[in-house]
Structures are given as C-alpha cells and as structure tokens.
Structure 1
Amino acid sequence: MLVDSHCHLDFPDFATELDDVVRRAGYAGVRRLVTISTRVREFDKIRAIAERFPNVWCSVGTHPQNAHEELDITVDDLVRLSEHPKVVAIGEAGLDYHYDTSPREAQEQGFRTHIAAARTTGLPLVIHARSADEDMISILREETAAGAFPAVLHCFSSGRALAEAGIALGLYVSFSGILTFRNSPEIRAIAKDMPSDRILVETDAPFLAPVPHRGKRNEPAFTRETAKVLAETRGVSLEEIASQTTENFLRLFSKVPAEEA
C-alpha cells in the first residue's frame, strides 16, 4: 500500500471527475490520500471532500503565497478547525521566495502561527519551502528550541543543508514527482541519503506529474511512479519503499487510522 501524503483535490483540475481520480488511486495501490489546505477561508471545500471519501483526510492552513490574505487567522482558529476528525495536519505553510507573491514578513508571521498550532495540537505541520533555505533553517531551529513540533518538508526541492537540518530537528522529508525528473540528480542524491524512517512520498497533484506522465495533470495514482524511482534510488524494492513510507506516514500523521476504512 502507498499513501499520497500531499495532494490538492479541491483544485478545479479535478472538479468534473473527482470520484474517478480517487478510484484510480485505489487501483494503483494508493489507499490513503491527504488533501491539503491552501486557504483557511476555503476550508469548507477541503473538509467536504475528506468527509465524502473514507480514504481521504485533510489539513487546515494557509499557503505562504496566500499568507498576506489571512494574517487574521489565529492559532486558536487553526486549533479549533483541526478538531474535526478528518483533519490530520496543519498547513501547508512556510516560505516561498521563488514567486514572492506574498510579502516575506507576512509569510514568516503566518508560518510561525502555523508552527504554534502544530505544537499545540501535536498534528504534523506541512511545510512549504522554496528558494528560502537559510531563513527556513533559522526559523525551524529557533522555533524547535522554543518547543518541538512534528513536521514534514513537503515536495522537497531544496538543498542538502535544509534536508539535513530538518532531519536533525526531527522532521520528515517528502518526495514528489520532481524526484523522477532527468534534471534532478541532486534531489535523488539527497533522497538516497535520508534516514529510512523519515521519508514520505506525495504527488502535490495536480502539479508536478512524475515521469512518464510529465507535462500532464498529476493525480494521486501517480504516487506509484515516484515511489518506484525512490526505490531505485535507494537500492530497494518498491514493496519495501511502499511499506516504509506508509509506516512513516502513519507515525507522523498519527490521527489517521492504521486500518483501512
């Protein structure tokens, strides 16, 4: 069994065939999906999808690109919404200096709010980090010193220093279709060296479809392609990667039942 630990089933790309998308995931052996929140004000849509499918869970949070729009969202708001039985994570939140669509001060403020919510609830924080490695490392070290919290560096595409700093602080690292791209040897080298008990797989669907689907709309069923490349990179079988990443997922996303629905 595989888990897509990060997808966006509420995006318009899936609106006309959501049932089929979830069904195809199951056929591919992807038995659990987490659909990730990017705006708290649109959380109702996320929650409705998670309630609709027994094998889908969700998070609650604000993407860093939207941070300036939701600075009024408080820790208490996130904690309250996370009490829903289908909410298994906080985020995604973090820093994105690649697009800089939200002021960096707003991104940091939002990020720290989400960290506090993860610390309070014990739910894992789904971290978005792009082109912001130094500031990300600094904030993670500072906040962990103030009190540990569970977290995953999702869709990892950063440098080795951030991966190693995250592992040292107790975080997990999740790999997406980027791992399969021909121009990603550095990401594969990092994936090869990560501790086996700290790795996850995801799609970030509808984005970043893995080879051989690159250029198409991504979907949770394609988690299997990323898992294959992760297995090849680490010199183990697909079955071993599936078992290990699922075990890791259930340890980190501890609110998800171990038994299939």
Structure 2
Amino acid sequence: MSKKQRRDIPRFAHPIIETHCHLDYLEADALAEELQTAREVGVERIITIAVSPGNLDTVQDLAQREDRVFCTQGVHPHEAEAYNAEVDQRIRQAASNPKVVAIGEIGLDYFYDHADRAIQRQVFADQLLIAAACDLPVVIHSRDADEDMQAILTEHLESLPKRGVIHSFSSGLSLAEFALEAGFMLGFNGMVTFNSANNVRDAVALTPVNQILLETDAPYLTPVPYRGRSNGPRYLPFVAEKVAEIKDLPIEELLKQCFANSERLFFTHAQDADVQ
C-alpha cells in the first residue's frame, strides 16, 4: 500500500471492531503490514473467520499469536460435504478457547451450490447445536436460501439465546425483518458502497443501528474507492462512512454504537449505547 493510499483512508476518533475477515488468506509479510495499517486507521480488534476443516487450526493459531485478533470455528456451506463427527468434535473442543468468539461461518448457499443442499441444511443445523451447547453466537452465511434459512433458524431459536449475525447481508428484506425481530444482527461490508447494491443499502436503512455490525469480508468485496484491489480491515472506515450516511448519523455516533454492538455480541454483555 502506498503512502498516498494510507493518507486517503479516513481516520476517526472512535475505534472500530472488524467483525468478519479472512486474515489467513494473506501471506506472512502482507499480514504484518495489514495488521499495522489497520491499527493506524483505528481498527482495534479483528475477528478472522474459519470456513473449513482445513483452517480451523490456522485461525486459532493466528489469534493466539496476535493480541488483537480473535477467531471463530465452523464449516462454511461450500465445505459442508467435508463435515463429519471428527470435525464436529474439533469445533466443540476449540469452543473453550477464549480467543474463539463464535461458531461460524455456517449457513446455506444455494447460489453456487458447491455442496448438496440437503447436506448443507443438516450441517448448518448440526453447527447451530454446537453454538447452543457452547453458549456462543453464530456467524451465518446466507445466499439465495432465504426460505430455508428462516425455517432452520426458527426451529433453533429457543436454544440460541446469544443469537448471532447474518454477515455480508444481501438477502431479501423479509429475511432481514425476520432476523432482526428474532434478535440477530446484520453485518455490512464494502457491498454497501457498490453502485448496483441498492438492496444492501435498503437493508441498512431497515436495520436498527443497535443491530448493525461492520465488516470487510476481506480479502473480498473491497469498498469504493478501492474496488478491484484486494480488501483488508484497513478499508473498514469506508464501510463505516457509507453506513453512517445511510442512517443519517454522525460518523462518531455510528462507530460508538457499532463498537458496542460488536462487544455485546462477541466479547461482553455490554449495554446498548444510547444512540436511537
């Protein structure tokens, strides 16, 4: 990253928590630079996300090495066919690690259909049971599967007091309304800045500010003005700016509330900030 690019990233007084990215996709040198640059632009903590049996240990190791990095444990719907009893047990055992803050990334993806849909549904349900047993929130991936997503979550709501987040939200408003009413949060990333993403901006407008999380999903979905480049937590301020604009809130108020939301879901039982 050039010095000019560093200068172009907004700096705000209130810190930010990156709630969803994939740091283990970066090479060691790039990771060190990313963590340093993220710190410089106010990203205080980062949650790096597990997606497959192959990176369950990798994200834990990364979180153990870096004080400001935390992780999840779970199997993405693309990898659902690799899920088995041994993987289930590994996730359950890892959940006791204080650096593990959620079960995820789990859910359904009927857009790519990389795994059989019936297997996706079963693996999603199995991992919701892990979250319930381990008293952890869930990080959910949902794409083109609104009806089944709502049905499965409805079945498990009573056992998930900590709820969780539907990350990278781009689904229909009916799923948004259901999730918000049920007490889930919605995660928004660089898509909110894309010209074609009116559906995402509509979801932001619908979501109460005390149920919004900020994320990048890096290295994917880089926000404008750097769309087309590899993404990183360093670009989170651009997401925050756009969400604040849509919610018609001063940026520092938006950041204060989103920070409190992230703390409440993943780190503490902090009370809501007083933003209406």
TM-score by length of 1: 0.93
User: Hey, what does 2:262 align to over in structure 1?
Assistant: 249
Q: In structure 1, how many angstroms separate the alpha carbons of the residues matched to 2:46 and 2:69? A: 5
Deviation at 1:34, TM superposition (A): 0.1
Q: In structure 2, how many angstroms separate the alpha carbons of the residues matched to 1:228 and 1:193? A: 17
Q: In structure 1, how many angstroms separate the alpha carbons of the residues matched to 2:115 and 2:139? A: 18
1:171-210 equivalences under 5 Å are 171-210=184-223
User: Hey, what does 1:2 align to over in structure 2?
Assistant: 16
Q: State yes or no: 1:211 paired with 2:218.
A: no
Amino acid at match of 1:3: I
Q: How many pairs were matched up?
A: 257
1:218-257 equivalences under 5 Å are 218-254=231-267
User: Structure 1, unaligned stretches of length 5 or more?
Assistant: none
- The SS at the match of 1:20 is helix
Deviation at 1:255, TM superposition (A): 5.7
- The SS at the match of 2:267 is coil
User: Structure 2, unaligned stretches of length 5 or more?
Assistant: 1-14, 271-276
Amino acid at match of 1:47: Q
Deviation at 1:72, TM superposition (A): 2.9
User: Hey, what does 2:91 align to over in structure 1?
Assistant: 78
User: Hey, what does 2:132 align to over in structure 1?
Assistant: 119
Amino acid at match of 1:9: L
- The SS at the match of 1:156 is coil
Q: In structure 1, how many angstroms separate the alpha carbons of the residues matched to 2:263 and 2:107? A: 23
Q: In structure 1, how many angstroms separate the alpha carbons of the residues matched to 2:256 and 2:101? A: 20
User: Hey, what does 1:94 align to over in structure 2?
Assistant: 107
Deviation at 1:254, TM superposition (A): 2.6
Query: 1:28-58: CA deviations, max 9, x gaps?
Result: 1111100000113422211111111111000
Tell me if structure 2 keeps the 8 A contact 1:75–1:116.
Answer: no
Q: State yes or no: 1:36 paired with 2:55.
A: no
Q: In structure 2, how many angstroms separate the alpha carbons of the residues matched to 1:58 and 1:147? A: 19
Query: 1:141-168: CA deviations, max 9, x gaps?
Result: 1111455442100011111011111011
- Find 1:104's aligned residue among 117, 132, 141: 117
**What's the RMSD between the two structures over aligned residues?**
1.8
TM-score by length of 2: 0.88
Tell me if structure 2 keeps the 8 A contact 1:38–1:92.
Answer: yes
Tell me if structure 2 keeps the 8 A contact 1:74–1:113.
Answer: no
Query: 1:109-137: CA deviations, max 9, x gaps?
Result: 11111111111122110000011111111
Q: In structure 1, how many angstroms separate the alpha carbons of the residues matched to 2:268 and 2:70? A: 10
Q: In structure 2, how many angstroms separate the alpha carbons of the residues matched to 1:216 and 1:74? A: 34
Call closer, same or farther: CA 1:82–1:145 in 2, change over 3 Å: closer
- Find 1:22's aligned residue among 35, 55, 63: 35
Deviation at 1:73, TM superposition (A): 4.4
